[in-house]
């Protein structure tokens, strides 16, 4: 009686410490390298955003009978034509209101400067050593010198920076078009280079990478909505003007962790100080509200939205944000979570392939059959 052969279990094994060490190390290395080629990374990310925004329309045209090339061309042409028309219609309105916006900006800047000088004056009245140092006069003089020389010092650098980044940013729609048109060809190119034994895992890998990138941007939109509503509710309760607009602008600025948050907080303080010039407590209240929302964002909202979309543990999400900032600065803060999500999918899939004896046996058997087929007539 022949022994019973039990099939090898096909349930994939969970990634172990070695695989996760490779995932985290690879993520940090890629962050360091990407910092050196931001001129390519930034338009690539923008192209992915455009790609995922336009992909449903392309798929709808494909289901209606169009080819992928025709669908991608029609959708991209329509989208860019719509954007160009909107910019063309908005240009006269922007030019007509440019003067009023300049006055509006100057009023809020003056309100912010008044709040800062008033706070320093209060500190001088409370602390003798600050009064002896004439801190308020020094800051007032520094602000005056900065305002007088800001344009002459920074205009040339700003123009050069814009000229350097403009070609890279124009690359984003070009890349998005070819992602939409030739994305399937790229997948077929990768699949044809994979041995048959690993074909199933490769298809799973490509699908998971695509899902990870799509879910990251979806989670980012959810996070922006949560931040907008929370900030708007808090600002409305304080009585600050345009709470929903301020909440939206600061939530979008928060896409750049920490740096964008500081800019958003400064914007909220400027508005609060201008709306309530004789009540500095409102500006302090706005600062407290912003700090509270940032804490909620970093420790609750982001793990619940972006982290959950990428299937990352909340603790790992928070730690990797700090690691990304330490390794690659501002660019690391922006790239660490989507990059970690993609590397996690790659690492876990490779780990499952390496640790799966059945897949290795299938690959070895296929190699022996190919070797026997090509050398049969040589024996």
Tens of pLDDT, residue by residue, the chain (379 residues): 444 444 444 444 555 678 788 888 888 898 888 888 888 888 888 888 888 888 889 999 999 989 989 999 999 999 889 988 887 887 787 777 666 666 676 777 777 777 777 777 777 777 777 667 676 777 777 767 766 665 566 666 667 767 777 777 788 888 999 989 988 888 788 778 777 777 777 777 778 778 777 777 777 778 888 889 998 898 889 888 888 888 888 888 877 666 677 888 888 888 888 888 878 888 888 888 888 887 887 777 777 776 666 667 777 877 887 888 888 877 787 788 778 878 887 787 777 777 777 777 877 877 888 778 777 777 6
CA angle 258, 264, 265 (to 5 degrees): 90
**Dist. CA 245–CA 101, nearest whole Å:** 15
Residue 26 CA, chain-centre distance (Å), reads 19
In eight-state DSSP terms, residue 10 is: -
For residues 238, 241, 242 and 246, what is the CA-based torsion angle, rounded to 10 degrees? -60
Measured distance CA(44)–CA(89) in Å, rounded = 28
Within 8 A by CB and 6+ apart from 157, the residues are none
Q: How far apart, in Å, are the Cα atoms of 329 and each of 34, 36, 52, 54, 223?
A: 11, 11, 27, 31, 22
Dist CA 251 CA 227 (whole Å): 6
User: Is residue 30 within 8 Å of 37, Cβ to Cβ?
Assistant: no
C-alpha span between 292 and 235 (Å, rounded)? 12
d(CA 19, CA 225): 35
């Amino acid at each position: 009686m022949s022994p019973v052969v039990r099939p090898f279990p096909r349930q994939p094994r969970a990634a172990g410490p070695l695989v996760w060490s490779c995932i985290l190390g690879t993520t940090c290395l890629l962050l360091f390298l990407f910092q050196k080629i931001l001129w390519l990374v930034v338009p690539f990310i923008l192209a992915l955003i455009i790609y995922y925004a336009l992909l449903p329309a392309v798929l709808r045209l494909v289901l209606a009978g169009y080819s992928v090339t025709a669908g991608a061309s029609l959708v991209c042409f329509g989208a860019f034509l719509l954007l160009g028309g909107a910019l063309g219609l908005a240009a006269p309105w922007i030019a007509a209101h440019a003067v009023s916006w300049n006055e509006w900006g100057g009023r809020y800047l003056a309100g912010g400067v008044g709040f800062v000088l008033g706070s320093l004056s209060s500190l001088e009245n409370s602390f003798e050593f600050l009064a002896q140092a004439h801190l308020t006069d020094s800051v007032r003089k520094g602000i005056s010198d900065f305002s007088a020389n800001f344009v002459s010092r920074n205009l040339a650098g700003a123009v050069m920076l814009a000229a350097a980044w403009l070609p890279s940013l124009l690359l984003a729609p070009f890349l998005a078009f070819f992602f939409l048109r030739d994305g399937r060809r790229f997948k077929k190119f990768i699949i044809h280079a994979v041995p048959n034994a690993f074909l199933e895992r490769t298809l799973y890998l490509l699908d998971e990478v695509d899902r990870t990138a799509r879910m990251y941007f979806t989670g980012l939109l959810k996070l922006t909505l949560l931040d907008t509503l929370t900030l708007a509710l808090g600002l409305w309760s304080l009585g600050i003007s345009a709470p929903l607009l301020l909440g939206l602008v600061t939530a979008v600025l928060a896409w750049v962790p920490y740096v964008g948050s500081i800019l958003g907080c400064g914007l909220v303080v400027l508005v609060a100080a201008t709306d309530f010039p004789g009540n500095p407590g409102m500006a302090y209240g706005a600062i407290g509200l912003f700090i509270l929302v940032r804490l909620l964002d970093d420790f609750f909202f982001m793990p619940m939205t972006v982290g959950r979309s990428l299937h990352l543990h909340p603790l790992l999400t928070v730690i990797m944000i700090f690691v990304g900032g330490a390794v690659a600065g501002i660019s690391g803060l922006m790239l660490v979570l989507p990059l970690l999500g993609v590397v996690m999918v790659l690492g876990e899939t490779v780990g499952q392939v390496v640790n799966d004896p059945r897949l290795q046996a299938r690959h070895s058997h296929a190699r022996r059959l190919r070797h026997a087929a090509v050398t049969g007539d040589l024996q």
